[in-house]
Structure 1
Amino acid sequence: MKLINKSMLTVVISLSTASVYYAQQVQDTVSKSKDIEEVVLTGVADIAKDRKTPVAVSTIKEEQIVEKLGNQEFPEILNTTPSVYATKGGGGFGDARINVRGFDQTNTAVLINGVPVNDMENGAVYWSNWAGLSDVTSAMQVQRGLGSSKLAIASVGGTINVLTRAADKKRQGNITVGIGNDGYHKTLFSYNTGKSAKGWSSSFLVSRTAGSMYADGTQFEGYNYYFALGYQPNAKHDLQFTITGAPQWHNQRSFSPTIAEYLKYGKDGEPNRRYNLNWGYLNGEEYSFARNYYHKPVMSVNWDWKISPMSKLSTVVYASFGRGGGTGTLGRVNGKTENGFRTEEGYINFDQIVAENSAIANPGSGSNSVFTRRASINSHNWIGTISSFNHKINSNLNFTVGIDGRYYKGIHYRVSSDLLGAKYIVDNTDINNPNRTLYNTYDPNPNWNPFGSKTNEEKIVYYNDGIVKWIGGFGQLEYSNDNLSAFVQGSVSNQAFQRIDYFLYKPEEQKTETVDLTGYNIKGGINYNISNTSNVFGNIGYYERQPFFGAVFLNNRNDINPNLTNEKIFSAELGYGYRSSILDANINLYRTSWDDIYKRISYRDAATNRTYYASVLGINEIHQGIELDFVVKAIKKMRINGMLSIGDWYYNKDVTASFVDDETREVVKEGQLLIKDVKVGDAAQFTASLGADLDITNWLSLDANYRYAGNLYSSYDPAASLDNRREAIKLPGYGLLDGGVTFKWKLNRTQAFKLRVNVNNILDETYIAESRTSILPTDKVSSAPNAPTYQEAGRVYDGIADGNQVYFGFGRTWNASLTFTF
């Protein structure tokens, strides 16, 4: 592991002497499995157990989520977990993203009650689809590293398992109203019936959230519903049906403005952190070119069968039907796109767009084209099942075997969303139906019908389906006694990929052959309880993962990649835990090697004016580091919490790129991606927090927390270093102070009021949360021969070239909620 520099240690020391503050969630691990299992639906979920499961784990419980999250994004509750970096992305409702140990969401497995939800084509997780998940979560467990899940899932960086409430949660009702900055407001009602004498139980929740986010032009409206029905006829069988969905629409800030634009529309040399390129006014109302709308209901039936005192079968059958997409621009009018209609304040003048579109008598191409809003649809149908059989061989030894089957069909096309005054548009992208004149538009709002189809719309620009079939098997052998526990685990999966393109090919050529790829993993670990206070653990694993759909079929066509190979991940970890009545602490060391990462890059030959592509194989990343978290309970009514994580994430070698002529298949150029030792970007490699909460009385409590993010690098594309080494730029570190207060009024044994107030970024810190680009101060401001550098031109902000596209973090925000429990 590379040496930690002195500046990092200075930050650690300064943080350790900072004022006491409260972490957004307590880094509790669960001492007994029943702590979770009594209140949530576990089913096939693999829950790590403290001082037994040899993985690095943090568990956040329902009360912490409800109180501390407020109007933040759901992943942000994890921001004081070691090696986690969550941001709000563009700042739209549900547009957050999360990195674990330097791996983004596509390489971090997200499961709900043990069921995987990462997109089966690209591994993505869209948190806006789960905008109401925080309302129904009873516990959330983060396992960093390969984790303890038996499935062959994308747990390269870690696993986030969200556990929802079970139908047989105790009888209770809840009414909540909340308000916040920028018109945020929320209403919620939930009720649990408890379990009847005949074994029936149910739980349901409905909520509505609306308003605007901190950034300009980000109005939203979202709903959430959850229903669970349980039936336990006897001690052997337990059945639970659940359905949850969160239909929503929200305006986005989808394209990062440059620092120069934030400064242009700011004041007194300070950036306008709220600035958004994508919106303006139409007929006096907020209107945006970037609007997301989606409804992704998920249904599942869980069946737990205790076959005997030694054997148990857990099965879940689930289905998801996603409908919706996101809007953007289409075409141009009088040679102009949105920047041609920008006002002095930086908004888009949509009324002027309507006027110029309306003046085009016969829309077509060239000078007669029009500028409209389109929607890119990404719907899907997904069904699956997981079944796990567990048998105790004796009091110390047990094994588990199971199957994991999934079918996924992604449906991708575009439609016209708003003609903006144009009479019609002309589309010539379907070779089977050229030169179509299209008048229909489709409202960008979610479809509430969970089984409804919006796929029969009039399509433009592209139309294709992606089909992924998955079948997998897994097994685990586990040994445990009073002091020692160990496991060895393996899984194998086959993914079958197929692409159907209805626009680019004649009917007989639209469907590709099926491409079958097999992957597997094997991992093991051991935990030893040295004493009642101390334990040590270690784990090791190897994973061969199939590439994503976009690597199988090249250039958004039916062209099958001839150089397909599995990505290879090797990970190892060591940890130590300490438990006492005063202090709980954990320290972990980890190293993960990620090899044969696929990258598709392009090269344009000036002589032939043609673009050639290279399928780059062999990119290798190293992610290694140290993690510490602790809880101090020295005073009865005060808890002090802290964490520290220091990562060292970098590319480990240069690789060769061979550019091929797609027509002749000949290599026309070879180059080197000079990326060795370049930092992996997009997440803070140093994070720390320290905090406390204080129960002043039985009815009043205060909390505060401060966290620091440093060694934060910009997003980095290895293709930028083709025959020319380029570094990811290092962004300024930052620290944020958050706080809250809770008032409780207990009316009687079952009824109570609770008032909660949160303030985030209390000090109104201005900071860059992420950068999409890596422009250096020594780079030229343009391609002109005598152009100055950004530094020479004085175009540098806080050490960063102002041409970089960035997202500034939110300024000071607040929310308050009143809850009545009965």
Structure 2
Amino acid sequence: MPLFTKAQFTLSGSVSEKTNQKILPGANILLKGTGKAATTDATGKYQLTNIKAGKYMLLVSYIGYETLQRQIEVGSDQTLDLSLVPSAFLADEVIVMATRATEKSGTTYKNLSKSEVTANNFGQDLPFIINNTPGVVVTSDAGAGVGYTGIRIRGSDATRVNVTVNGIPMNDSESQGTFWVNMPDFASSVENIQIQRGVGTSTNGAGAFGGSLNIQTSAPELLPYAEVNSTYGTFNTLKNTVKLGTGLIDNKFSFDGRLSRISSDGFVDRGASLLKSYFLSGAYHGKTDLLRINVFSGTEKTYQSWNGVPESRLRGDIQGMNDYIARNGLNATDAANLLNSDSRKYNSFLYKDQNDNYQQDHYQLLYANQLSDRFSFNGALHYTHGKGYFEEFKNDQEFSAYGLPNPVINGAPVETTDLVRRRWLNNDFYGATYAFNYKAASNLNFTLGGAYNEYRGQHYGQITWSQVSSTLNNSDHYYDGDGNKNDFNIFGKIAYNPVEKLSLFADLQYRRVKYDITGNDNDLLPLNVHDTRNFFNPKVGATYFVDPKSNIYASLSIANKEGNRDDYVNANVGTLPQPERLYDVEAGYRIKHSGFSAGINVYAMFYKDQLVVTGKLSDVGASIRQNVPESSRLGVEFDGSYTLSRFFQVNANAAFSRNKIKNFSEYIFNYDTNVEEVNNYSNPDISFSPDAVVFGELVYKPFSGFAVALQSKYVSKQYMDNTQNENRKLNGYWVNNARFGYDFSFKGVKNMNIGLLANNILNKKFESNGYTYGYLSGGSRTDENFYFPQAGTNFLLSLNVKF
């Protein structure tokens, strides 16, 4: 192995900003002429090993800072701490500053650097990459993290987690969720992520009721590069990524691109996914201004696995499965599928094209200008176009349910047919965001920002095939509905330091939402919904700096949020869902030293009119969410990292909470009497809100470039409805993973990384998600429980080469 000749000495140290000694994770260190390079870790540390004695030129680079060149002589092991000076051009970080939390804003948050995102990126959706952060629980319909995935923060689902990319909203305006399947391998184009828990600071898009994900896309590298990444693993999971970049041209221009393809068979039967995406970015970097254009797109074709596994199939209960078949009228083929499938891999869908197909194209024009030493501006124009459908086979469908006349065959009307239908969603989302920042004095800073966005959505259905034809062509629409939404917000933020150790923060936001739903829904019922809401969302906070390395903070925030499309569509005629309101109190202590960092915080989240599933049916039989007057989440969270030695590091976090509805009424339909019966509960747990989420990681680095991480995560039991019934719950689970990574370089290759992710190494059988509904019939209650089992032991092996 002549390329890996043993050398004699080690060069190590840290990289920080010269003016304030702020650490710089992700800085590049290059020893010219040797091919040896390193990147600073999350604590700003670096290490170069196997260096022969001699004189060298050391290069240190970091976006937003001037490249440092230093002549060094190596004759023994050395510790060399380096400082960088901010560069003359504007850095990309200014794009997200207005919506980011800082230590002075009294907010509970966690930052993930590019290196941390990269280390966990094996092709799974982004929720799985941030799974090991406090209070986060993730799930996968197909069981292996590829395809449709979900995330909850502090028990709040994706519709209550605000997601922005470069300050631009990503949540769907109507459903309010973020569908990561439409953004495959997006993590490969991420510079950093800030996860705010609770209300957080004012941002753009729908209100954050559980948390926010504030994502910044990749900043340019200083030098040209090419990068190829391939991952292969269990369930024929395959990821191929190619990245190219020009580096900074004439210290002014940069161009970057990525092309990705991910395919997987999935853990569950027929849970296959084929995902494609690209990301293109070009930028002009001036001394006082920055112009960037991003174009990115994702295309997904995913076999549907969103029905889950009935409890009787999961438990192997033969009699229970036969009862399920009888209750639900399964035909012989579907009954055989249920009885003969693997208990954890069962998928109720058998039609070969039972696919979800969708493409989403994003266009972003970002501009920032440092107008003076005190005054700066950044803004963006954006446009997103989405188009797609899901296709499904339906047997024995009544023509009248599709607004069609019964065809007459041999003189007799035919009332039902087997058919294939597609339900389409075409939408356009566009608008502008902006922020002005004014530093009035060294201890006083103002930010004025906001956005105006419009959403236009078309919902329609087609019958592409039917066993018996009626009057509809396969390109005609059997329903058409529109959803139009205008969203305006403006916010002002003030940070003030009255004395050296105390920082005060105020953040006031006004948001106006106008939502119109017209046409017909997929059940052919007419839609005529018009609602306008005005929200005031104030936030105040204070931070006291005990010393330069530790601080105490507290904040009070109020957030308001409108219901989603289903809440409006399924409401009884003439009624509208009331908006939700959240009062969030946060307090905590943070400390950071060179080998140790930790934070502990407590929170109290009090909801007014939270929308929850009650079992209530609308006047046309649709399941609806209802406002419950009072509910709350109280908790304590811990997040810490400790370097035991130069070989071992421990990372850990924990979230313990009490999540309650003060008074809850469950509605259950009685088919014997055709009326709804009501059961009242006092102080039940909120559904899908575990009392404990605990994570621990032991990292072992026996030599430079190689690391082994053993990870353990525990999630306590979760109830699938709001009655706290032990028969309708997800059992708690404890899952262990292992991650291996080895970085090295040789002539012609800047860096090569070999990585291995071993998931669920103890082969734990667990379910991370589910749903339930019940009814009364024959004098007794029946509960239909469905679960989403996750994969047993599985592996992903990756190879990344950077030139």
Fold shared, TM-score > 0.5 on shorter chain: yes
Taking the aligned partners of 2:658 and 2:311, their CA distance within structure 1 comes to 27
CA distance in 2, matches of 1:61, 1:770: 29
Who is 2:459 aligned against?
412
* Displacement of 1:748: 3.5
Partner residue of 1:88 out of 134, 137, 140: 140
| Aligned-pair CA distance for 1:188 | 1.1
Q: How does 1:517-532 map to 2 (within 5 A)?
A: 517-532=533-548
Distance in 2 (alpha carbons) for counterparts of 1:62 and 1:376: 38
Which runs of no fewer than 5 residues in structure 1 stay unpaired? 1-25, 281-286, 336-359, 427-435, 441-456, 660-667, 791-800
Q: CA separation in 1, counterparts of 2:521 and 2:62? A: 54
Q: How does 1:614-625 map to 2 (within 5 A)?
A: 616-625=626-635
Equivalent residue of 1:773, what SS? Answer: strand
Structure possessing the higher relative contact order (Cα contacts under 8 Å, 6 or more residues apart): 1
- The answer to whether residue 607 in structure 2 is matched with residue 594 in structure 1 is yes
Residue 131 of structure 1: how far off its partner (Å): 1.6
Q: Judging changes above 3 Å, is the alpha-carbon distance between structure 1 residues 494 and 50 closer, same or farther for their aligned structure 2 residues? A: closer
Alignment counterpart, residue 179 of structure 1, candidates 226, 232, 235: 232
Match for 2:95 among 43, 59, 79? 43
Contact between 1:534 and 1:577, CA under 8 Å: does it hold in 2? yes
User: 1:472 — aligned with what?
Assistant: 489
Q: 1:498 to 1:52 in 2, by over 3 A?
A: same
User: What residue identity is the alignment partner of 2:541?
Assistant: G
Equivalence for 1:13: none
Distance 1:425 1:646, change over 3 A: farther
The SS at the match of 2:312 is helix
1:79 is aligned to 2:131: yes
Match of 1:316, as an amino acid? A
For residue 263 of structure 1, report the CA deviation from its aligned partner: 4.2
Counterpart check, 1:638 vs 2:648: yes
CA distance in structure 1 between the aligned counterparts of 2:458 and 2:158, rounded to whole angstroms: 22
User: What is the aligned-residue RMSD (CA, Å)?
Assistant: 3.8
- Structure 1 counterpart of 2:559: 543
Tell me: CA distance 1:603–1:638, structure 2 relative to 1, closer, same or farther (3 Å): closer
Structure 2 match to 1:302: 366
From the superposition, tell whether residues 726 and 246 of structure 1 become closer, same or farther in structure 2 (CA, over 3 Å).
same
Asked whether the equivalents of residues 364 and 425 of structure 1 are also in contact (C-alpha less than 8 Å), the reply is no
Which structure 2 segments of 5+ residues have no match? Answer: 1-39, 46-60, 66-90, 319-337, 400-406
CA spacing shift, 1:560–1:706, aligned 2, 3 Å: same
Q: Deviations over 1:514-549 (max 9, x none)?
A: 532111200011111101332100111112333334
Give 1:310 deviation, angstroms.
Answer: 0.6
- Match status 1:685 vs 2:698: no
**Which residue of structure 2 lines up, in the alignment, with residue 820 of structure 1?**
801
Within the alignment, does 1:394 sit opposite 2:400 as a pair? no
Alpha-carbon distance between aligned partners in 2 of 1:613 and 1:815, rounded to the nearest angstrom: 40
Q: Match for 2:792 among 804, 811, 815?
A: 811
How many angstroms does 1:692 deviate by? Answer: 1.7
Worse overlay, 133-142 or 648-657: 648-657
Aligned partners of 2:98 and 2:447 also within 8 Å: no
1:486 to 494, 504, 507: 504
* Aligned sequence identity (%): 18
Aligned residues: 692
Q: CA deviation at 1:784?
A: 3.9
Q: Alpha-carbon deviations, 1:6-39, whole Å to 9, x = none? A: xxxxxxxxxxxxxxxxxxxx996999xx999778
Which residue does the alignment assign to 2:580? 567
Shift in alpha-carbon separation, 1:28–1:268, aligned structure 2, 3 A: farther
1-structure distance, mates of 2:624, 2:257: 52
Instruction: Give the secondary-structure state (helix, strand or coil) at the position aligned to 2:591.
Output: strand
TM-fit CA distance, 1:653: 2.4
Note closer, same or farther for the CA distance 1:689–1:51 as it changes in structure 2 (3 Å cut). Answer: same
Q: Which is strand-richer, 1 or 2?
A: 2
Question: In the alignment, what sits opposite 1:769?
Answer: 768
SS in 1 for 2:547: coil
**1:320-356 deviation per Cα after TM superposition (whole angstroms, max 9, x unaligned):** 0011122223342799xxxxxxxxxxxxxxxxxxxxx
Distance (whole Å) between structure 1 residues aligned to residue 616 and residue 101 of structure 2: 51
CA distance in structure 1 between the aligned counterparts of 2:138 and 2:450, rounded to whole angstroms: 33
Q: Tell me, in whole angstroms, the C-alpha distance in 1 between the residues paired with 2:513 and 2:452.
A: 10
Q: Could you say if the C-alpha distance between residues 247 and 268 of structure 1 is closer, same or farther in structure 2, counting changes exceeding 3 Å?
A: closer
- Measured in 2, the distance between the counterparts of 1:474 and 1:695 equals 46
Question: SS of the residue aligned with 1:65?
Answer: helix
Partners of 1:483 and 1:529 within 8 A in 2: yes
1:312 is aligned to 376
> Which residue number corresponds to residue 755 of structure 1?
754
Residues 1:714 and 2:726 are matched in the alignment: no
Q: CA deviation at 1:728?
A: 7.7
Q: How does 1:180-579 map to 2 (within 5 A)?
A: 180-197=233-250, 199-232=252-285, 234-264=286-316, 272-279=343-350, 287-289=352-354, 291-332=355-396, 369-417=416-464, 419=465, 422=466, 425-426=469-470, 436-438=471-473, 440=474, 457-460=475-478, 462-480=479-497, 482-501=500-519, 512=528, 514-554=530-570, 559-561=573-575, 563=576, 565-579=578-592
Give the superposition deviation at 1:372: 2.5
**Alignment CA distance shift 1:205-1:531 (3 Å):** same
Measured at CA, do residues 681 and 552 of structure 1 come closer, stay the same or move farther in structure 2, by a change above 3 Å?
closer
Q: 1:370 is paired with a residue of what secondary structure?
A: strand
Task: Map Cα deviations across residues 185-213 of structure 1 (whole Å, 9 max, x no partner).
Answer: 12111011112116111110001111311
Change (3 A) 1:532 1:549: same
Question: How high is the TM-score relative to the length of structure 1?
Answer: 0.77
Determine the C-alpha separation between the residues in 1 that align with 2:357 and 2:544.
49
| Aligned residue in 1 for 2:72 | none
SS in structure 2 of the partner of residue 261 of structure 1:
helix
1:640-679 equivalence runs, <5 A: 640-654=650-664, 674-679=680-685
Distance 1:414-1:363 versus aligned 2 partners, 3 A rule: farther
Indicate how the Cα distance of structure 1 residues 65 and 174 shifts in structure 2: closer, same or farther if over 3 A, else same: same
Cα separation, partners in 2 of 1:682 and 1:325, compared to 1, 3 Å: farther
- What letter is aligned with 2:792? G
Question: TM-score with structure 2 length normalisation?
Answer: 0.78
